[in-house]
Structure 1
């Protein structure tokens, strides 16, 4: 008994550690994406999200005030002077400057408080807090003086990324359209395979007919067929019957790829339902359709919900199937995953916008998962221990 108890205890620890590892693998990138969506571009480019709460050293390029702006230049004792604070003029919070320079090749040529000779009688002095004084013997013109500096920047969080993503006319039209396109793809692609799989699972679980075992074996075999193997033949078939590059084509594609798992999961669950209930209903004269709709379906709700979660998350986050069966030249049917790819192509350096767009795209799947996770656990556990 001690051995058995010890084996159970060891197995329990292994299960707990495995679950913890899976939770952390899922949690870290999600939290990182969420934190990055509130950080500035400089912070994202300089440090990882796990250092978001600590000050970080950054290399910055900031221009002094433009000499041509009204009231910027002042003549003091015959010397033209421009003064200000580099961080304030660049819209940054207060920071501490260590080294600076006037050329990209020597960004550490001077320390805080030193004066740089710019030639033609111009000089600039930069202090540790970002205050600067630019002087010249003659009135200055043109753009403001460039200053390359290394400074310790305090942590900064902003809602500007979400404002740009959700309210900027350049982004809002594409993202909002992609959001509703994704819903148009995901909801039917989740409901249709559940309806078909529920009927098929009941037949394979409780109806006797020739070839049932072969059909069950075929369903299990289809679980291991790679998705990529069927893309080209299926696309040619869709084009041949006139449903390629449209919602109907992508709905049927997701239905076909999701049916094997749905039938397998629901069949295993339905087989474990109490046989007495089914037999008593048949004795009372109930037809198979009545048994299916009034007894089996209500009792199978956990399994139905668990597959619905899987299918919803897969279709919502899908890019490959949407690229093959849906995308048109105008982009009017573009889904969110493809819209983010397009955003990456046009604004590849704006990682803060990309992080925000990615987190917006996973908000709905996260909501669905947390709302229905109890059904997911019940359905998967029941389907795994019951069978026949």
Structure 2
């Protein structure tokens, strides 16, 4: 099956179609990039494609958006740091907990295991919007959180666990159980099997889950609005929404601000893309 799929994806027609799709998909991002460098009077009077005939580029847009101090500017530097502080721990928590839970549900034999997995699967169907306020009311008084980073970490971890457990369980359940028996014969434990055997084998799946979780958390707006408050904790997405609402006619700032928010996700995806593709092929092609 793997060779048949490879042959179909390697034909000239598939290659041309892939190139066309990639070009069409990239045009809006390219136009956003060009617009973010254009002066205010240029971007408000003609399209971004006019920059090729009469190039007039400036760094003022990025300077005003990132380092500006006035209320009209973006002041995205601090919000950028907030996004990093929220995203990195939330991704680590959700991926690590999902990996341990998926291992227990696929390798550890205990009563009620199948029912727990069914419950995890059902939790993916619950809309995020329905669970936001109940989670805030349930956990807020119990642990006394405010609108800070800890609240965002817990919220993103809770909402990301069902999908993470389901995804990793599908990969871990395909690993031969004879490996665990060999480890036990040598005196190893479940911790040894998980750390030295299973994790290296499902590394592509972990990379895929990391990309999914990071992109979702970095681009999230709804959870950030509910579980964070004030400029000291709110991420980039909240500030960009404010700019779009209050400064909607300042296109040069919106374009540069949007591209600033895209930098880190692009770096993460380009860094882990080979593991991402390997994880998709591992889960979709057998034999």
* Superposition TM-score, scaled by structure 2 size: 0.87
Structure with a larger share of its residues in strand: 1
Partner of 2:257: 357
Q: Residue 34 of structure 2 aligns with which residue?
A: 35
1:149 — aligned with what? none
Does the aligned pair in 1 maintain the 2:66–2:75 contact within 8 Å?
A: no
Aligned positions, number: 281
CA apart distance, 1:260? 1.3
Say which of 165, 172, 188 aligns to 1:270: 172
2:235: which partner in 1?
335
Higher RCO (C-alpha 8 Å, min separation 6): 2
Is the contact between residue 206 and residue 271 of structure 1 (CA under 8 Å) also seen in structure 2? yes
8 A Cα contact 1:268 1:384, kept in partner: no
Structure number with bigger Rg = 1
Q: Is the 8 A contact 1:265 1:383 kept in 2?
A: no
- Determine the structure 2 residue equivalent to 1:215: 116
Q: Does 1:230 align with 2:136?
A: no
1:291-325 deviations in Å (ceiling 9; x for gaps): 11121112222111111111111111111110011
Does 1:348 find its partner at 2:248? yes
CA deviations 1:309-358 (Å, max 9, x no partner) are: 11111111111110011123xx2212111111222334322100111111
Q: Report what 1:193 is aligned to.
A: 94
1:46 Cα deviation (Å)?
3.0
Structure 1 gap ranges (5+): 55-153
* Offset of residue 174 of structure 1: 3.1
Where does 1:1-388 land on structure 2 (aligned, <5 Å)? 9=8, 23-24=22-23, 26-54=25-53, 154-170=54-70, 174-241=75-142, 242-328=144-230, 331-385=231-285
CA contact (8 A) 1:319 1:337 kept: yes
Q: Residues 11, 363 of structure 1: CA spacing in aligned structure 2 closer, same or farther, 3 A cutoff?
A: closer
Q: Distance in 1 between matches of 2:222 and 2:17?
A: 30
- Is the 1:238–1:249 contact (alpha carbons within 8 Å) kept by the matching residues of 2? no
**Partner residue in 2 for 1:123:** none
Whose helix proportion is higher, 1 or 2? 2
